[in-house]
């Protein structure tokens, strides 16, 4: 089985060379891809999407069409602060309270201006999680950009009780990001229930273990020092 770094490098390079990425350089990023809007439309047809009233989303451009669609449909969106750099590490976007359009509110800058910063324990129970990916397979294994922030967002939300073990997780990707091979997975990696491309909805097999919270043993001191909420939680653990 290949390691995560080599898989990321291959996908980033292939997307750049084939010009399916919407940037010249997508290395070290969740790739924004051509067809992201069509993929979001397919997600909108899913029953789990239609039933959801509250969604949690990553802040990356590739999933902006999904955040916009959620706001247009009256859903509350919790968007993670990039790199979790604030103790109030989520922004609440409530369509009933926005003074800008859903298109603008779905961007990082728009969300920071129009949204309400919240602590994770202030969030409403989440019905659906939106996650960005670099590579995935049909079994639901996901590889992110390598920072570990998506897994931490999920772990914090689970620890706070606002995301349940059975809360569905969906990722929109370009077909080039769907790999027909086994992918490495650790206990803190969040598995996917749905992978959606512009042409296909993949219902993953399920049965993969779901993280139950924050795995402190996997966090080095540098990572903890960069994230205010982790610093606070660690202090509480040590008291």
Q: What is the pLDDT of residues 155-207, one digit of tens each?
A: 999 989 999 989 999 999 999 999 999 999 998 899 999 999 999 999 997 78
d(CA 224, CA 238): 14
Cα maximum dimension of the chain: 53
Express as a percent the part of the chain with pLDDT over 70: 99
pLDDT over threshold 80, residue 150: yes
Rounded to whole angstroms, what are the CA distances from 59 to 47, 96, 109, 132? 23, 21, 10, 9
* Residue pLDDT, tens place only, 83-135: 888 889 999 999 999 999 999 999 999 999 999 999 999 999 999 999 999 99
pLDDT over threshold 70, residue 50: yes
pLDDT over threshold 80, residue 58: yes
Rounded to two decimals, the pTM is 0.94
- How many helices (H) and strands (E) are present in the chain, helices listed first? 9, 10
Tokens at residue 149, please?
Answer: 């922030």
pLDDT attached to residue 239 = 58
- Average of per-residue pLDDT values in the chain: 93
Q: Strand locations in 4-163, DSSP E?
A: 54-57, 76-80, 90-93, 116-118, 128-130, 135-136, 142-143
Identify the structural domains of the chain with CATH numbers, from first to last: 34-174+181-233 (3.40.50.10420)
pLDDT attached to residue 147 = 85
pLDDT attached to residue 219 = 85
d(CA 143, CA 40): 20
Rounded to whole angstroms, what are the CA distances from 37 to 5, 74, 207? 28, 18, 29
pLDDT attached to residue 224 = 84
* Residue pLDDT, tens place only, 196-218: 999 999 999 778 989 888 888 88
pLDDT over threshold 80, residue 237: no
**Which is more confidently placed, 162 or 225?**
162
Confidence of residue 222 (pLDDT cuts 50, 70, 90): confident
């Amino acid at each position: 089985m290949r390691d995560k770094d080599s898989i990321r490098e291959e996908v980033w390079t292939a997307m750049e060379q084939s010009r399916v990425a919407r940037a010249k350089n997508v290395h070290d990023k969740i790739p924004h891809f051509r067809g992201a809007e069509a993929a979001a439309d397919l997600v909108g047809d899913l029953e789990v999407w239609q039933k959801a009233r509250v969604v949690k989303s990553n802040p990356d451009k590739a999933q902006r069409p999904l955040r916009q669609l959620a706001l247009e449909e009256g859903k509350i969106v919790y968007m993670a602060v990039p790199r979790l750099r604030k103790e109030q590490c989520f922004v609440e976007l409530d369509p009933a309270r926005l003074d800008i359009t859903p298109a603008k509110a779905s961007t990082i800058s728009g969300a920071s201006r129009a949204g309400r910063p919240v602590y994770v324990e202030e969030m409403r129970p989440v019905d659906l999680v939106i996650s960005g990916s670099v590579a995935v397979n049909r079994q639901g294994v996901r590889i992110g950009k390598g920072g570990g922030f998506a897994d931490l967002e999920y772990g914090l939300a689970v620890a706070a009780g606002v995301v349940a073990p059975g809360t569905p997780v969906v990722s929109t990707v370009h077909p080039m990001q769907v790999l027909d091979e086994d992918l490495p997975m650790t206990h803190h990696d969040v598995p996917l229930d749905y992978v959606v491309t512009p042409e296909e909805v993949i219902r993953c097999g399920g049965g993969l273990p779901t993280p139950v919270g924050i795995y402190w043993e996997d966090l080095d001191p540098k990572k903890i020092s960069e994230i205010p909420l982790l610093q606070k939680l660690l202090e509480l653990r040590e008291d």
